[in-house]
Structure 1
Amino acid sequence: MEFRFFQVDAFTNRPFGGNPAAVCIADQLPADEVLSRIGKENNVPMTAFVVRKNNDFILRWFRPDGGEAQLCGHATLASAHILWETGMMLADEEIRFHTIAGQFTATKGSDGWITLNFPAIGSEAATDTTLLAVFPTAVEILQAGVERTLVLLPSEEEVRNFNPTHELLQSYNCIVTARADADKPYDFVSRFFAAPHGLTEDPVTGSAHCVLAPYWAAKLGKTTFNALQVSARGGELRVALHGDKVALTGQALTLIDGWFRLPE
């Protein structure tokens, strides 16, 4: 079996920025065990598998630990980018992805930025206060869905300078955020740590902004944002809250174009 393979930097317009994703375009999906092993082999933050189904596409995401992800923004953005770049879809055509989390759409603007339609994820005050030992200056600690913890810090500087080596953080998928400095062209900053899923730090996390959009909408009294994930690689997003949906908009750049070959 062989299929097209690409590596894309998502939520950036420069090489080695944003979040790398592998994108595999196949006629049919291998067995789940093989998908898991390919995710491990690629060893990037996410591998996306895309298969055409009539006029739509089936999309699945696998992490470098071999587990299947329930939601992934940057690999979805990368997949849409490849479908347009290879001519499998025309630039003015909407892409519909069928995933384990539901159906999502992708559209391409005249400026080349790609917009994903994702679900909004609410948050509430966390009953687990363990992370206060990791973030003693935290303004708020909230639970977002069943998997993620959201931590509000007092300043952009604290988010940027946080060192994710505390052993307690190894048990949490943690979004850390703060309002941006007043002189900056973005509204808030964030970082995302996902040690339970094999990622000490995820460079740019689209799905985390499904949590951040409704959170900052309530805080700032508006629904459109410029966001910056301040990891070492860094990434820019335009984020908009529309009821129970979040529009995630970003750029992508292809760095590797080739074939993935599996012996029969």
Structure 2
Amino acid sequence: MKLPIYQVDAFTGEVFKGNYAAVVPLEQWLPDELMQSIATENNVSETAFFVRNPEGVYDIRWFSPLTEIAFCGHATLAAAYVIFRQHSVESITFAAKSVGTLTIWRDSGDRIKMRFPLRRSEPVNAVPQALLLGLSIAPKEVLLNQQAYVAVYEREQDVRALVSDSGRLKALGPLDVVATAPGDRHDFVSRYFWPANGGDEDPVTGSIHAALAPLWAERLGKRELIALQASHRSGLLHCRVEADYVFVSGQAVQYLEGTIEVPSGG
């Protein structure tokens, strides 16, 4: 069985920057085991699979090389980029079991805008020892939402200087860890560690900005923010916070278009 595949760098306008995602459009769902095998073989942060249903909505699922992921922002951006290149539409609706409906638009310039559910984080009373031992610099405070522990630092320099211990942070699974601070040139910066679900450090993580943007919007007193994910590849995210939603916009660029051949029926 032959399937189309695209590899897209998300949250960047340059190839080899941002976060890489594979996109595999489907006519119908493959067995879960086969989709996981494809994602493992691709060995990029996530592979997005989607199927267009009779209502014109695209059902979407995301797999890291290790496991299925409940919510992935950069692979959603990559999937939207592929659809926009192939169809003359101004908006797309994705549906995912874990987060519901995600609406995507062509934004100003060459950006794509995604509407995410706001996923606020709350203070942690008892910080896990694995988190404190897994980060080389102690955070000023720790928050938590349904996706990750949020380690807050005073300075961008602290976030950039962090060294993570993946063995210790893996013990926090299924939760990940994001480190964040006010930015020197941007409103805020972050780095994302996810050894339990994908790898040591994710280059750019759109989904966690559904938590980070509301946090910094409140602390900085502004609804529109520009965020930098300060990984080795780096990525830029434009965020706007509303009452129940976070709008996250970014660029994308295609690196690869091709065909994969997999066993029929798994």
Pairwise same-fold verdict (TM > 0.5): yes
Equivalent pairs counted in the alignment come to 256
Is structure 2 residue 105 aligned with structure 1 residue 104? no
- Quote how far apart the aligned CAs of 1:32 are: 1.1
What do residues 235-259 of structure 1 show as CA deviations (whole Å, max 9, x unaligned)? Answer: 0000111111110100001111011
Secondary structure at the counterpart of residue 196 of structure 1:
coil
- Quote how far apart the aligned CAs of 1:166 are: 6.1
Give the alignment's Cα RMSD to 1 decimal: 1.4
Is structure 2 residue 141 aligned with structure 1 residue 144? no
* Runs of 5+ unmatched residues, structure 2: none
- Quote how far apart the aligned CAs of 1:2 are: 2.0
| Mapped contact 2:136–2:163 kept (Cα < 8 A) | no
Q: Give the distance between the partners of 1:218 and 1:72, measured in 2 at CA.
A: 24
Q: Give the distance between the partners of 1:96 and 1:156, measured in 2 at CA.
A: 35
The equivalent of 2:60 in structure 1 is: 59
What do residues 169-228 of structure 1 show as CA deviations (whole Å, max 9, x unaligned)? Answer: 2323101000012xx1x1000000001113100000001101101111121111110000
Q: Give the distance between the partners of 1:24 and 1:143, measured in 2 at CA.
A: 32
What do residues 50-91 of structure 1 show as CA deviations (whole Å, max 9, x unaligned)? Answer: 1111322111111111x2111000000000000011x2x21x
Secondary structure at the counterpart of residue 253 of structure 2:
strand
Q: Give the distance between the partners of 2:3 and 2:233, measured in 1 at CA.
A: 29
Q: Give the distance between the partners of 1:263 and 1:231, measured in 2 at CA.
A: 36
| Mapped contact 2:136–2:164 kept (Cα < 8 A) | no
| Mapped contact 2:240–2:248 kept (Cα < 8 A) | yes
The equivalent of 2:123 in structure 1 is: 125
Q: Which amino acid aligns with 2:107?
A: G
The equivalent of 2:90 in structure 1 is: 93
The equivalent of 1:180 in structure 2 is: 183
The equivalent of 1:9 in structure 2 is: 9
The equivalent of 2:25 in structure 1 is: 25
Is structure 2 residue 203 aligned with structure 1 residue 208? no
- Quote how far apart the aligned CAs of 1:132 are: 3.3
Q: Give the distance between the partners of 1:263 and 1:139, measured in 2 at CA.
A: 50
What do residues 115-144 of structure 1 show as CA deviations (whole Å, max 9, x unaligned)? Answer: 001111111111332233435542111111
Identical-pair percentage: 38
Q: Give the distance between the partners of 2:167 and 2:197, measured in 1 at CA.
A: 15
| Mapped contact 1:187–1:227 kept (Cα < 8 A) | yes
**Structure 1 residues 155 and 110: alpha-carbon distance in aligned structure 2, compared to 1, 3 A threshold:** closer
* Runs of 5+ unmatched residues, structure 1: none
**Structure 1 residues 52 and 230: alpha-carbon distance in aligned structure 2, compared to 1, 3 A threshold:** same
Q: Which runs of 4+ in 1 moved over 6 A?
A: none
